[in-house]
Structure 1
Amino acid sequence: MEIKTIAIIGMGALGVMYADHFSKKLPEKSVRVIADQTRIERYQKEGIYSNGEPCYFHFVTPEETMPPADLVIFTVKYRALPEAMKAVKNQVGKQTILMSALNGISSEKDIGEVFGMDKVLYCVAQGMDAVKEKNQLIYANKGRLCFGEKKMEKPTGKVTAVANFFDRVKLPYEVDHDMKKRQWGKLMLNVGLNQTVAVYETDYGGVQENGKARDTMIAAMREVIELSIHEGVELNEEDLSYWLNDLAKLHPRGKPSMRQDAEAKRYSEVELFSGTINRLGKHYGVKTPVNEYLYQTIISMEEKYEKLPQEN
């Protein structure tokens, strides 16, 4: 299978970055950005910019009918996934490959329950430092998409098709033969990094250097390591070092999504991070005091937000 058309839903930092990259590499209308008419009108009126340059996207509403896309990438927040799956229904055909760049360890299962797991590849977006404020995206590191089957000995047809496509459009990627462990590793990083930066109101630089914030981050990550053993994943200190090394490559003034949400008074993905860890801790009888602290602090912050419309 050769991938020629791609659909993306979600115009957050990752969605804009990937849509801009693909739009510059592929023929016009080969990249479909899925959005409702109200959002499309706003995007067209205000414009969308990536590193100061205007983006030129081909927008498609959920109601429009056309041949299915070869590849669909979800870049919404987890709470918007059910609506996003409805919105891409007309983009999904028998041969369509589905990938989720969402945080957490649940989205592939959710997507598979709707469209079939045979269409789904597991995916982790890693190493980018994109910051989006209103209609402006800024990034220094594009990072890479790590993908594969949940566990595999050799690349399947879907994996090979996506790898060939990313080679053709020159998108950085990595094929992983154990995506369950990779996803747990990214969860470990998010649990420590995203939440700590939000609570300490800092940026990547604030946890790249030694101090209380970095200590909190690493302690939260070690609670994930302990739980991973109960889940049959078995993260270890070597994995911790790997993800900390990835963090060290990010621009110090960059900020993770949860910090950006806090600054914009948007409700965060705290339930995906410490919410998940605390629930698993109770299930396995493992204490998670650092994640309990981060969870309660973030919930307290969000209780002060006004009831404003929340962006996907």
Structure 2
Amino acid sequence: MKIAVWGAGAVGLLWAHRLAGFFPGTLLLTRTREQRDKIRAEGLALTGLDGVHRIARNLDVRWSREERLPACDVIFLTVKQTVVPVIAAEVRRVGHSSSDIWLWQNGMGQERLLGDDIDSHRLYRAVTTEGALREGPACVRHTGRGETRVGPVGGESISPLTAGLIRVLVSSGFSIFPDREIDRRAWEKLAINCVINPLTALWNVSNGDLPGREGFSAWMDGILKEVVRVAEAEGIVLSEAELSEKVRAVCRDTAANRSSMLQDLLRGEKTEVDYINGAVGEKGKQHGIPTPFNDRLTLLVHRAEEEGVPEGEDGLSHPPSSG
């Protein structure tokens, strides 16, 4: 089985390192030639939860824009959601007619961004609560223990290819499970991201410091109420109380993590807010459900994309009224 990991951020590097232990020659596709050359020269270093450093040197590391790339049976698409439509044609080039594609993005709607040429039966959502931090082009740290759920986007049965890969990973001790309720899992993760990503980004704090911020509970309650209402309109039943507990658990279990949205702002890059809080706002409009908390956060994060991480007034002092 030939596996590709497309995207060498924190999640991509974590899984590339893991896969290399069982599938030598796992293809890792980087955004830049510089990162490719660094990993080729030094190997990919992983610092585990136990503090031990391990280096993988048996990866097939390529620049994603190289003309000739090998065909792969399973593709882990770990790029940001904003990049998915840009590389859609290239993803088709790396796969073949029966390749499975695992979508690891934080937001919603990524399957539509790939276009109509890819059969939806080949698409899987991978919803993870694992924490990882990219410490350099060739270095990643595992920062929080979690689990990964994988299920078909179209709600069909899981292919023998994906089922076999999951079995290998489970037998090796990884917490990864097939899940036929993956849409509900995706909504649960969306809800968690709607809270943690923008609030850590705008307050410039790590996940572990978030619950201690003044105003956190009011913002979390307002955000989650909106997500629960919108999800219900989409046919997904969620529990606000359970989501609140999960948000706090993720903050605790990934305490050292800086959210992807905060990291994007610190690097001066575009965030995925349109596919997270913005997606809730758009779905809310379709169903006639007001979403003032998520709308405000989308606006504030866009402002921070232009002006940088707020150092003074962050716009979070006065939460909006609930819709």
Matches within 5 A, 1:206-217: 206-209=209-212, 211-217=214-220
Matches within 5 A, 1:225-236: 225-236=228-239
The one of 181, 186, 192 equivalent to 1:189 is 192
Task: Say if 1:241 and 1:304 are closer, same or farther in 2 by CA, change over 3 A.
Answer: closer
1:232, CA displacement in angstroms? 1.3
Counterparts of 2:249 and 2:154 in 1: how far apart (Å)?
23
Unaligned residue ranges in structure 1 (runs of 5+): 306-312
**Conserved? CA contact 1:152–1:177, under 8 Å:** yes
**Conserved? CA contact 2:228–2:237, under 8 Å:** yes
Partner of 1:223: 226
Counterparts of 1:45 and 1:266 in 2: how far apart (Å)?
27
Partner of 1:38: 33
The one of 1, 5, 18 equivalent to 2:2 is 5
**Conserved? CA contact 2:190–2:276, under 8 Å:** yes
* Count, aligned residues: 299
**1:23 maps onto 2:20 in alignment:** yes
Worse-superposed segment, 209-218 or 255-264: 209-218
Task: Say if 1:169 and 1:69 are closer, same or farther in 2 by CA, change over 3 A.
Answer: farther
**Conserved? CA contact 1:147–1:174, under 8 Å:** yes
Worse-superposed segment, 165-174 or 262-271: 165-174
1:104, CA displacement in angstroms? 1.2
The one of 262, 271, 285 equivalent to 1:268 is 271
**Conserved? CA contact 2:72–2:96, under 8 Å:** yes
1:32, CA displacement in angstroms? 0.6
Instruction: Give me the TM-score of the superposition, normalised by structure 1.
Output: 0.84
The one of 283, 286, 299 equivalent to 1:283 is 286
- 1:63 aligned partner, one-letter code: E
1:241, CA displacement in angstroms? 4.3
The one of 119, 131, 134 equivalent to 1:132 is 134
Task: Say if 1:65 and 1:268 are closer, same or farther in 2 by CA, change over 3 A.
Answer: closer
- 1:32 aligned partner, one-letter code: L
**1:177 maps onto 2:180 in alignment:** yes
Q: Please list the CA deviations of residues 139-178 of structure 1 after superposition, one character each: whole Å capped at 9, or x if unmatched.
A: 2325332111247597553552332232355432122221
1:257, CA displacement in angstroms? 0.8
Counterparts of 2:263 and 2:132 in 1: how far apart (Å)?
10
**1:93 maps onto 2:96 in alignment:** yes
Counterparts of 1:85 and 1:253 in 2: how far apart (Å)?
33
Counterparts of 2:155 and 2:220 in 1: how far apart (Å)?
31
1:36, CA displacement in angstroms? 6.1
RMSD: 2.7
Give the percent of matched residue pairs that are identical in Structure 1 and Structure 2: 20
Counterparts of 2:279 and 2:107 in 1: how far apart (Å)?
9
Task: Say if 1:204 and 1:261 are closer, same or farther in 2 by CA, change over 3 A.
Answer: same
Instruction: Give me the TM-score of the superposition, normalised by structure 2.
Output: 0.82
